[in-house]
Amino acid sequence: MPQQITDQFRRLTGTYPDGAWFAPGRVNLIGEHTDYNDGFVLPFALTSGITVAARRREDERLVFNSSSESEPVTLDLASLRGAAPEQFPGWYAYPAGVFWALLRDGHPVHGMELAFDSDLPVGAGLSSSAALCCATIAAVAELSGLDLDPLQRATIARRAENDYVGAPTGFMDQAASTLCTAGHALLLDCRDNSSEQVPLDLPGSGLELLILDTRTPHNLVDGAYAERRRSCERAAEALGMRSLREVDDPSAVAALTDPLLRRRARHVVTENARVLESVGLLRESRVAALAPLLDASHASMREDFEITVPTVDLAVDTARSAGALGARMTGGGFGGCIIALCPVGSVESVARAVADAFADAGFGAPQWFTAEPAQGAHRLPGPTSRTEFHLAAHR
Ligand code: GLA
């Protein structure tokens, strides 16, 4: 990967980078739509994500290159300062938003040339946008000499998405991309952003986690996600609570007279409990025992939160009847990926069964892979300066 991104940087810019960085996508094991309710989530980092090679400039220009675009986009840092920053369309808005958020906080950032590459499917609910922001901040922080810990980086990335791009996400994706460690899921308490690394040894438990992309695109900037957020806020207000996180007893939601708000709140309250139960099981290395909790989470998303779609429900049902121990949709919903906890050796047949069911139903072919918990955002090993890159290339 370092060599590939360096070559790409050279091809796109004609120069050597100062370094290369990587930020992963994430999959959420359990805890959906709980983050913006001050609740608990349990994601882990994927090995796939966004790679960026970058070179510091002596002026205030930003040049964004991508392997998937023919032309670079160039802008001035000055256009991102002040009350009405320039808005960039498309995916460049995400890295531009990171610079904007850093400037807002008064960080002295430099002009820079960046080349991005991705091996994550876009719109699959695996947080490609958070990975893009977190990879950008990893590069910028180092090249501008900013002393930012992983939590601060994730916070900047979130502001880029929420306040610059306008995607009303919670904090799970950015936190996962920066804070996760290999071999662990991340328990994040979104009330105070405290976290714990929870061991997750799938092969040691005789298990594999299938991630199957239904390829039903979802779009978070869409109204449905924002609408769910508002319903949760209204439900908390009606219960006299600061957030739904404060509701410990699931039966308390019965006090909500509006049946829709009652269902939405019940999902959040029971999902928080499922996250904590899952963590308890993982601490005892009882990974397979997560299966019924995954199933219950999916049922709750389908019946109470109403964020599943026919492709996703078919994938989950088929995975289960084909031998998965438990399965659920993962991510923001309305499409995207499912996860299925499978006994070792059964992933291929489970995924094939879903592909057959999709073909029978007239749905497009899904894609799949298996995942194990990987490391959060980091600098890629290799040359540490443009001179070393130059020397390495001519050795
Ligand atoms: C998206 C958002 C996250 C979270 C999930 C649902 O991925 O970006 O903040 O709300 O949906 O759990």
> Distance between alpha carbon 326 and the CA centroid of its chain, in Å?
21
Supply the pLDDT for residue 350. Answer: 98
User: pLDDT band at residue 384, thresholds of 50, 70 and 90?
Assistant: low
Q: Is the pLDDT of residue 383 over 90?
A: no
Supply the pLDDT for residue 177. Answer: 98
Nearest CA to ligand 1 atom 9: 170
Is any ligand 1 atom within 6 A of the Cβ of residue 33? yes
User: pLDDT band at residue 2, thresholds of 50, 70 and 90?
Assistant: confident
Phi/psi of residue 390, nearest 5 degrees: -60, -45
Query: Which single residue is written with the structure tokens 């009847």?
Result: 321
Q: Is the pLDDT of residue 391 over 80?
A: no
Look at residues 352, 130, 319 and name the one whose alpha carbon lies nearest to residue 209: 319
Which 3 state secondary structure label does DSSP give 297?
helix
- % the chain with pLDDT above 70: 96
Average pLDDT, the chain: 94
Q: Is the pLDDT of residue 219 over 70?
A: no
Residues carrying an active site annotation = 173
Q: pLDDT tens, 337-379?
A: 999 999 999 999 999 999 999 999 999 999 999 999 999 999 9
Q: Is the pLDDT of residue 221 over 50?
A: no
Q: Which atom of ligand 1 is nearest to the CA of 225?
A: 11
Cβ contacts of residue 35 below 8 Å, gap of 6+?
A: 41, 170, 171, 172, 188, 190
Supply the pLDDT for residue 4. Answer: 87
Q: pLDDT tens, 42-93?
A: 999 999 999 999 999 999 999 999 988 888 999 999 999 976 777 877 889 9
Look at residues 162, 166, 114 and name the one whose alpha carbon lies nearest to residue 137: 114
User: pLDDT band at residue 395, thresholds of 50, 70 and 90?
Assistant: low
Which of 26, 28, 35 to probe ligand 1 with, by most ligand atoms within 8 A of CB? Answer: 35
DSSP codes of every residue in 329-359? EESSSSSSEEEEEEETT-HHHHHHHHHHHHH
- % the chain with pLDDT above 90: 84
DSSP codes of every residue in 254-270? GG--SHHHHHHHHHHHH
Which of 32, 159, 172 to probe ligand 1 with, by most ligand atoms within 8 A of CB? Answer: 172
Distance 17 CA to ligand 1 centre (A): 33
- For range 283-293, the mean pLDDT: 98
- The residue that leads in pLDDT, 86 or 209, is 209
Distance 219 CA to ligand 1 centre (A): 11
Is any ligand 1 atom within 6 A of the Cβ of residue 331? yes
Q: Which atom of ligand 1 is nearest to the CA of 41?
A: 12
Supply the pLDDT for residue 204. Answer: 97
Q: pLDDT tens, 124-166?
A: 889 999 999 999 999 999 999 999 999 999 999 999 999 999 9
Q: Is the pLDDT of residue 115 over 70?
A: yes
